[in-house]
Structure 1
Amino acid sequence: MAQSIDKPPFFDGTHYAHWMTKMKFFIKSRDYKIWDIVEDGPFVPQRSKAEWSADDRKKMKLNCKALHLLFCAFGPTIYEKISSCESAKKVWDKLEVTYEGTDEVKETKIGLLTLEYENCKMDLEENIEKMFDRFSTITNGLKGYGEATPEEKLVRKLIYSLPESWDSKRTAIIEAKNLKTLKLDELMGFQSRLWVESLIGV
């Protein structure tokens, strides 16, 4: 069943990078000021509530809204790990360390994905759809770690990741399309059509 757009994406402890990207856009779509609170603070004022300024109260109200959105995305297991956090930023930071790892772990994962990206080639037993799915998994993984690649570069990488048997099709794509403006989805559709045509002898 499709998830309601009014509910935050649910996080069960797996596929953190995927969830994190979806949750970030979900929060921004509700109120960009709430995302600012998640990303930058506030930190809870270190004084009694009676001494809070109007600005303190405004920020803490946004903090409560941010915490509510985050808590609604978790089941009991995840909630227990972050329920003691007083600010949305602390929740976000703790999730990042817990499920994405320390900076060293993150750099290792980025390095492995980068190596996969650089060595990505279409396997002989793959069809174009499977190859594209594998390529997308790698590039989306890098994007989730903040390593976004310009679309033109992705398009060129995907085209030149095709095997030698696709040389004529590669040439057809390059001659028919402007690679500076070609989108990945458009490229995928074009490649799929060429692949089907090769199967039926068109």
Structure 2
Amino acid sequence: MAAPPTPQEGPSQTRPPLFNGKYYGWLKNRMMDHLIGENPDIWGVILDGPTIPIKTATDGITKIPKETKEWNAEDKLAIQNNAEAKKILICGIVTNEYNGNSSCQDSKAIWETLQTAHEGTTQVMKSKIDNLNRQYVLFLIAEGETIQDMHARFTSIMNGMYSLGEIVSNGKAVRKLLSVLP
């Protein structure tokens, strides 16, 4: 989850983070925090999908979507959360990323498309985790490398693992880092 070397926007409490196609792990965490900060229900819409107001048809069994004029306050809030989630995600991606998501009908589909495009399928993610674990196990300071550069490289490996759901305890990471110092 390395941060971009030069973010394209300054820190903001109102704008979503801007994603340009690189540093997906960084975006994923920042976007989640931004959405939960706006309204936890919005993050729920992205995880669970949109809520569509429904009613029971005259046969008493079939469920059908409500017409707009039939929406109550709870239905309107659900629709508003759906639209807000989609708006925030769309406002947080550049044109090239949007083009890959333009056919998505809801925020959950946008989020899943971004995840698949930048993290890959479950099988690809496992392969990436295996590769990062290998880099972690074989990690050594390179000849002529400064401590700062070595630490940045190690942090990049750790953040990549974290963003894919592979958690290494801080104690274990510190011991590994200290073990490679000259």
Structure 1 residue 148, shift from structure 2 partner: 2.1
Q: What amino acid sits opposite 1:132 in the alignment? A: H
- The equivalent of 2:143 in structure 1 is 124
- The equivalent of 1:159 in structure 2 is 178
Higher relative contact order (CA 8 A, sep 6+): 2
Cα distance in structure 1, aligned partners of 2:110 and 2:103? 9
Bigger Cα displacement from structure 2, 94-103 vs 40-49: 40-49
- The equivalent of 2:155 in structure 1 is 136
Structure having the higher Rg: 1
State whether structure 2 residue 21 is matched by structure 1 residue 3.
Answer: no
Question: Which structure features the higher share of helix residues?
Answer: 1
CA deviations 1:172-199 (Å, max 9, x no partner) are: xxxxxxxxxxxxxxxxxxxxxxxxxxxx
Cα distance in structure 2, aligned partners of 1:76 and 1:126? 38
Cα distance in structure 1, aligned partners of 2:119 and 2:52? 25
Select 2:67's aligned residue among 49, 53, 66.
Answer: 49
Select 2:31's aligned residue among 1, 6, 23.
Answer: 23
Bigger Cα displacement from structure 2, 102-111 vs 26-35: 26-35
Structure 1 residue 147, shift from structure 2 partner: 1.2
Unaligned runs of 5+ in 1: 164-202
Cα distance in structure 1, aligned partners of 2:79 and 2:100? 22
Unaligned runs of 5+ in 2: 1-7, 54-63
Select 2:79's aligned residue among 49, 57, 60.
Answer: 60
SS of the residue 2:65 aligns to: coil
Cα distance in structure 2, aligned partners of 1:33 and 1:150? 30
Identity %: 32
Partners of 1:113 and 1:142 within 8 A in 2: yes
Structure 1 residue 4, shift from structure 2 partner: 3.8
Partners of 2:49 and 2:106 within 8 A in 1: yes
Structure 1 residue 85, shift from structure 2 partner: 2.1
Q: How many residues align?
A: 163
Change (3 A) 1:43 1:87: farther
Q: What amino acid sits opposite 1:154 in the alignment? A: A
- The equivalent of 1:36 in structure 2 is 44
Q: What amino acid sits opposite 2:115 in the alignment? A: E
Structure 1 residue 55, shift from structure 2 partner: 3.6
TM (normalized to structure 1)? 0.72
Partners of 1:43 and 1:87 within 8 A in 2: no
- The equivalent of 1:104 in structure 2 is 123
Q: What amino acid sits opposite 1:24 in the alignment? A: M
Change (3 A) 1:78 1:44: farther
